[in-house]
A and B are shown apart, each in its own frame.
Chain A
């Protein structure tokens, strides 16, 4: 057997085992760490397909950013693991239905003629072949419009994140320069009309005591 084939089976086996542990691990922190392991092995598989950019982007974006956030959330979040397990059997039929639907969809896509694994024989690329450049040539010319749409989706995500999580702090002492410039004398000082007060003679005040 060729060395690459051995590597492929090694990476695939670890990916499958790690993915299984993600959904069976009791501790959510362990599940997140197994997901990191699965991502690393999928990156190895992509590397075997000579898709270096995708492999490294997977590690940089998913392992480096997304999974760190996930770990951060599950480690810090105030969740009761025992209470989360309640209702497992009640939710199982719906979950199983959704899972089966997804498996069916994937099977249709992978076996259909659009994906066409049979039409793509594995080929050995020369040493100077760059998958990154091939990818970029398609992405930045034929798919330029979807590429710009992607930036709009990222913009929506930024605005949604700010809207959902931004809470003004009560003890915030930051200055608002526009408010300071727009302020008028009327806002700062109020002139009140009132009748003049008459000072009582000192003797009368003493008698009153």
Chain B
């Protein structure tokens, strides 16, 4: 089975080389003679006025956390889809796999409706 993933390994290695080799080459063979004039900001550049870290609106985190939670929900859907045909008709219960997943999604829809009704998805 792992043989199927060999092209992906090659792809990862090529990607790494694509990112690292130009930087390494530049570091190795480019001449490096810095002076204060070269390193100072010029033309449109200017020295920063303040620190980049600042107080940030908490609503960005709320949206991000909601995204992660529904992302997890999606992660549960993939293996379910892979064996859907097998578990949709088990010997014991008809439509078991189908109902099971819809109970799962239904519970999460409660959270979605709650977030929507509370206005967590409104921006302005």
Residues of A within 8 A of B (CB): 4, 7, 47-48, 50, 52-53, 57, 60-61, 64-66, 68-69, 72-73, 75-79, 125-127, 129-130, 132-133, 135-137, 139-141, 144, 147-148, 150-152, 154-155, 157-159, 161-162, 165-169, 171-174
Of residues 25 through 62 on chain B, the ones whose CB sits less than 8 Å from some CB of chain A are 52-56, 58-62
A89 to B112, CA, bound (A): 44
CB B52 to nearest CB in A, in angstroms, measures: 8
A48 to B118, CA, bound (A): 45
Chain B contacts for A76, CB-based, 8 A:
53-54, 56
Cβ A72 vs Cβ B79 within 8 A? no
- The secondary-structure label for the interface of chain B is helix
- The secondary-structure label for the interface of chain A is helix
| 24 pairs, CB–CB < 8 Å, chain A vs chain B | A61-B71, A61-B75, A65-B67, A78-B55, A127-B3, A130-B82, A140-B100, A141-B90, A144-B96, A147-B104, A148-B103, A151-B105, A154-B69, A154-B72, A154-B108, A155-B111, A157-B65, A161-B65, A162-B115, A165-B58, A165-B65, A166-B119, A169-B124, A174-B122
CB A47 to nearest CB in B, in angstroms, measures: 6
**Nearest CB in chain A to that of B55: its residue:** A78
CB A189 to nearest CB in B, in angstroms, measures: 29
CB contact under 8 A between A158 and B115, given known A137-B83, A167-B58, A174-B122: yes
Cβ B110 vs Cβ A155 within 8 A? yes
Cβ B82 vs Cβ A127 within 8 A? no
CB A90 to nearest CB in B, in angstroms, measures: 25
Q: Which of A75, A130, A152, A161 has the most CB of B within 10 A?
A: A161
